[in-house]
Amino acid sequence: MELNLNELQIDALKEIGNIGAGNAATALSQLINKKVDMSVPQLDILEFSDMIKRVGNEDDEVVAVLLKVFGDIQGNILFLVKNEEAQKFFDTLMFGFSNINEEMFYSMFQEIGNILGNSYLNAVSQITNLSLLLFHQ
């Protein structure tokens, strides 16, 4: 894909990503009641098919929540966690609850994806003045 961005534009996109992710990390920390660290976001312009290689191993089994962004900008947010990490989320958030079924497992990850995606977009929307909405299937 031909997308010519200058240094300043790349820097701006990184900073927008950084603010969005920072807000999402804060939300995650409140959700699980634990400290959450994050690395500096990396910006890549690449083929869609190369994305998998960029984020992990093709053979890893993961829990994935896909959120559609609509409004002033259309796009996708994908929340990915490896299965063993997903289990940790579940154990942390479901601690003390009994009768937890598979439906609750799905519901929990949909809601985590929803909250993180929205907190990301809330921050991005605030600094860009764009109206951004989420739709999760």
Partner 1 sequence: MARVLIVDDAAFMRMMLKDILTKNGYEVIGEAPNGAKAVEIYKAERPDVVTMDITMPEMDGIQAVKEIKAFDPNAKIIMCSAMGQQAMVMEAIKSGARDFIVKPLQPERVLEALKKVLG
Residue 122 makes contact with partner 1 by CB under 8 A? yes
Residues 6+ apart with CB under 8 A from 86: 62, 63, 109
User: Dihedral angle at the C-alpha atoms of 19, 22, 27, 28, nearest 10 degrees?
Assistant: 140
DSSP character at residue 39: P
Shortest Å, Cβ 22 to partner 1: 15
Determine, following the binding rule CB under 8 A, whether residue 103 of this chain makes contact with partner 1.
yes
Nearest approach in angstroms of CB 59 to partner 1 is 29
User: Residues interacting with partner 1, by CB under 8 A?
Assistant: 27-28, 30-31, 93, 97, 103-104, 107-108, 110-111, 114-115, 117-119, 121-122, 125-126, 131-136
